[in-house]
Structures are given as C-alpha cells and as structure tokens.
Amino acid sequence: VVALGSKPNFFGMKDVEQNAYTMTTINDAILLRNRIIDLMEQAENETDPILRKNLLHVAVVGGGFAGVETAGEINDFIADIAEYYPTINRHNVKISLIEATPKILIGFSPKLAAFAKNKLVDRGITIFLNAAVTSYDGKELTLKSTSKSNTILVTNSDHKHPNYDVQKIDSLDSNTVIWTAGIGTNEILRDSLFPTPKGRIHVNEFLQIPEFPDVFAIGDCAVIDPEIIKKKFPPTAQVAEAHAKTAAHNLMRLLGGQEMTSFDYSWKGQSAIIGKRTGIASFFGIHVSGFLAFTLWRNLYLSKIRGWDKRLRIWIDWNLDLFFKRDISRLKTMKKTSSDFKELDEVDDVW
C-alpha cells in the first residue's frame, strides 16, 4: 500500500521554501511553538524598535483550514504567554493572515466564513485578501495583487464593524512566515515506477494501480482515474481515511480471490477552529458556529483516537487547560535538516 501523503507546495519559490515555516507535522508544530517563544524572548530584550516590530510580526500565508487554524492558535498562544514578558504589550504583536483569493475558508458557506473572519479580526488578526506571495528572504515578504484593480483588501481596525480597506501594498516585514498555501505530491513518486500524471498516482475504482494490481495507493498521493469515476474527491483527511478502509477491505478480498468493492464516499461535513474555544462547522447541511462548533470539533477528533484509555487522557488534558496557565518550556524536536533550526536574526546576544 502506497500512502506517502503530500508535502507543502511552494510553487517554485525557492526562497520561500528555504525561509518559511510549514505546518504539516507534529514536529512542525513544535518547531513553530519554540520559534514563537524565541521571538518573545528576543523582543523582550530588543532595543531597536524596527527589529522589535519585525520580531513581533508573524505572517501566515494561506486562508484555508490550515492557515486560519494556525493564525488563531498562534494568536491565542501569544496572548496567554505575554504576561511572562513585561516589556511586551499584547497589542505590540501583529498576526497577519494572507490569502491570494478574494475570501478565506472557501470550502465553507459564506455565512460561516464571514463569522470566522469577524472573530479573527475582533481578536486582533489582520487579514489580507487578493494578496499573492512572490518571494520571502527571511525578513521581507513580497506581495502581488491578484485583483484587476491591482489592490489588496486589508481588514480595518474597527472591531465593531470589521470590514476591508482597499490598499496598495508591495511587501510586509516579518521575521517569521508560516506557509500553508498549498500542497503538492511527494517527490519520491517522481522517481518511482508508478505513472504519476499531474504528480499523483492514478488508481482504478478499487484503489489499485492498474500497472501493478497487487499495489494499492491511497490518500493525497493517489487519485482515481477520471475516466473510470467522474466524481472528484478532495484531498482531505476524511477521504484518506475512507481510502484506507476500502483498500484494507479490498486487499483482504484480493488475497482471498473474492470480488472487490469500488470506492465511494459521501461528504459528511467539515469543521475548523478559529481560536479561543470558538469554531465553525457544517454537518449534513447544518451550519454551527461558536463554542458549540468547537465542542463538536473536539468530540469528532476524540472519537478518532483508538482506545478509551488514550481518549480519557486527552480529555483530561484538554479540561486541565481550562484552569492552568500555558507552559512556555521549549520542547524537543526531531532535527531533519539544518533549516529546521534556523537562528533568529541577530540573536547571538541572547543565546
């Protein structure tokens, strides 16, 4: 079974790939958490106002699920740990969410997307729309408008009636950029024996690779041949999980010489967390927002955990978070490449 998943797609921008952080694995999350702590430590002792401002500006590129959830969580994390840094006012920190299209959370209904936008802005996050990233050197993020008017929409500071101002912006200064603006296929597939039109393995209705009938491909690295099944399935965790169940079933039937089952999937809904125990969710045509959506989101993911003992531990840990402060200890990570431990600019005076 081939299940290599996907990787971030930087659309050929090598400087962005080299200097930006990603948010695809647990290790990425830990690296980013440590980075935020480093930023706060450095800014606490920084006397240069320009460098201090850049240290306290975190830009998240991509207004989809991953980008919105990342921006919301970082905003909450900084708000919770700001008390440990006396010289930093919470309002000194800027979180920017940058999206190349005219709106965020395209997969959700306009009403839920608007709710999410208003909550993010109300909590101090600035949203940029029609803003495509063209380069990032580690300090300056270069933007290009995707609108016909060559302008970028930026949320204003009126939290009572958050809306967008039309501006012409060429760049933003930030020492930390998080890339969530697209996924691509694993480069291992390019050098494999499997045919990969458009980068993904074509499989039949049973999720077999036609040229290798004993091999199944599932998840983001696979796509059902459109000539076999016209229905398109998005590269989501729900579809990947359904792939896994069908592939396991068909593998057992193949070994037993029995007829296999064609893959099919019905959309069940989606949800996203936008920070501070607030979420949006859409299940079977029912739209929910706020704390109820957050609760549904947690229960859904808790149900995916195997074993009641693990579920209970996670549930207890989640509830303890309601009563205790954030831990700001740096966590150990698995070092994969030298870029995973990029040093802060001019940080030698601290570490």
Domain annotation covers residue 314: yes
Residues 144 and 173 in one domain: yes
Q: Encode the chain (351 residues) as per-residue pLDDT tens digits.
A: 999 988 899 999 999 999 999 998 899 999 999 999 999 999 999 999 999 999 999 999 999 999 999 999 999 999 999 989 999 988 899 999 999 999 999 989 999 999 999 999 999 999 999 999 999 999 999 999 999 888 888 987 655 555 788 888 899 999 999 999 988 888 888 888 898 888 889 999 999 999 999 999 999 999 998 888 888 888 888 899 999 999 999 999 999 999 999 999 888 888 899 988 899 999 888 899 999 999 988 888 898 898 999 999 999 998 888 788 888 888 877 655 544 445 544 444 444
Residues 168 and 197 in one domain: no
Residues 241 and 287 in one domain: no
| CATH code where residue 58 lies | 3.50.50.100
Domain annotation covers residue 13: yes
- Contacts with 80 (C-beta within 8 Å, 6 or more apart), sequence order: 325, 326
Of residues 181, 197, 154, the one with CA closest to residue 9: 181
Residues 209 and 177 in one domain: no
Domain annotation covers residue 331: no
Contact 328, 37 (CB under 8 A): yes
Residues 125 and 44 in one domain: yes
Show which of 134, 158, 183 is a domain's final residue. 183
Of residues 328, 54, 318, the one with CA closest to residue 171: 54
Residues 179 and 284 in one domain: no
Domain annotation covers residue 27: yes
Q: Give the domain extent around 237.
A: 185-255
Show which of 183, 212, 235 is a domain's final residue. 183
Residues 17 and 147 in one domain: yes
Residues 177 and 192 in one domain: no
Domain annotation covers residue 337: no
Please tell me the total count of domains within the chain. 3
Residues 245 and 275 in one domain: no
Residues 72 and 97 in one domain: yes
CA atoms of 249 and 243, how far apart (whole Å): 10
Domain annotation covers residue 298: yes
Domain annotation covers residue 325: no
Residues 213 and 84 in one domain: no
